[in-house]
Amino acid sequence: MLSATDLANPEVANLVPYEPGKPIDDVARELGLEPGSIIKLASNENPIGPSPKALEAIRNTLPSLHFYPDGAGYHLRNGIAGVFGLELKNVVLGNGSNEIIELAYHSFTRPGQHEIVTSENAFAVYELMAQLFGVGCTKVKEKDGFHQDLDAILAAITPKTRLVFVASPNNPTGTRIPNDALDRFLDALPDHVVAVIDEAYYEFLDNPPDTLRAVREGKKVILMRTFSKIQGLAGLRIGYALTTTEISGLLERSRQPFNTNMLAQAAALAALQDTEHQKKTKEMTDAGRLRLQEAFTRMGRKFVPSEANFVLVEVGDAASVFKKLQAKGIIVRSMVSYRLPAWIRVSIGTPAQLDLFLAELPGALPTA
């Protein structure tokens, strides 16, 4: 008898699912701990929470929940376009920016025919989606300690390549691409590829690049942004693409009619306008990053200097350090699934959360 797996699309059946940061509730259940006593530094969320203005927008929207959301996302797309000096048609909303990745595959790749190019330690979802879509994935070696090598990426493009994924800052490495290198890369792209520039952590950058120039100039580029990070709305699943009107039309064709929900649209618009909340988050992140990196230096731990709201640090045995910290109610991200089994990634928490983490880390490290 055939099993359901025999009938399944082999791309799906063989997929190793994405391993997200462990939820607080799971750890509480497994270890019999109070959820309130657990801190999560595993998914690069905003530790000070969502913007109060976003919460107010959600409360104001609640009585309308019996209606479908605006499938075209008029108010939010207009608001985003206004912030960036673009037109509504340059903006595509996604159920998290993860959905934008999926829409790009839907719109630009065909199974068995096309390939994508990305970096060896790029955000895992690019490769995962390639597998799911039956598309080849070339991962290019990095240089100088976890830095993406844009020249090597350009050199790896073949006639079959349709999408190129570059994240700046990248997750899990936290490294950014220098502005001039990114400019040169965008100018050098061959005609037959679409570049996806993942800017999930863009708002944490000092001296951010003017990647919008490429959109204004009509290049084949998709800039991905999200409300999950600096705006603290990860739970609502809302992100967006900034792109040319031609590409946005193609991405729009691939999405479900109501891919983003009403609460997310309202909250995101309010959060976008709450620059005070973003500023506060960036200041806390900058201070926390400096503190973590200085502490790792004092401890003689190798780490990757970060430009985002997390730091990748070498601990010897990530699986065991993850477990020991978890037993103390601290959830970090083991990098075993990223094929970096000696490293953990720590999101920058509040000062009090970092106090706890730094107090417990030495006891969790392997004894020499």
Dist CA 189 CA 122 (whole Å) = 19
Q: Which of 69, 73, 79, 239 binds ligand PLP (CB under 6 A)?
A: 239
Quick one: which of 167, 242, 163, 150 has its CA closest to 201? Answer: 167
Residues in 170-189 that interact with ligand PLP by CB under 6 A: 171
Residue 167 touches ligand PLP, criterion: CB under 6 A: yes
Residues in 7-26 that interact with ligand PLP by CB under 6 A: none
Quick one: which of 13, 8, 55 has its CA closest to 235? Answer: 55
Residues 162 and 108 sit within 8 Å (Cβ to Cβ): yes
* Pick 167 or 195: Cβ nearer ligand PLP: 167
* Pick 114 or 225: Cβ nearer ligand PLP: 225
Dist CA 259 CA 238 (whole Å) = 9
Residue 98 touches ligand PLP, criterion: CB under 6 A: yes
- CB-CB neighbours of 106 under 10 Å: 15
| Beta partners for residue 304, in sequence order | 312
Residue 226 touches ligand PLP, criterion: CB under 6 A: yes
Q: Which of 46, 61, 90, 97 binds ligand PLP (CB under 6 A)?
A: 97
Residue 198 touches ligand PLP, criterion: CB under 6 A: yes
Residue 50 touches ligand PLP, criterion: CB under 6 A: no
Dist CA 309 CA 363 (whole Å) = 24
Q: x/- contact string, 57-96, with ligand PLP (CB under 6 A)?
A: ---------------------------------------x
Could you tell me which residues come within 8 angstroms of residue 50 by beta carbon, excluding any fewer than 6 positions away?
231, 232, 233, 267, 271
- CB of 72: closest distance to ligand PLP in angstroms? 20
Q: Which of 44, 90, 231, 259 binds ligand PLP (CB under 6 A)?
A: 44
- CB of 183: closest distance to ligand PLP in angstroms? 20
**CA distances for 50 relative to 21, 203, 311, angstroms:** 19, 15, 22
Residues that bind ligand PLP (CB under 6 A): 44, 96-98, 123, 167, 171, 198, 200, 226, 228, 234, 239
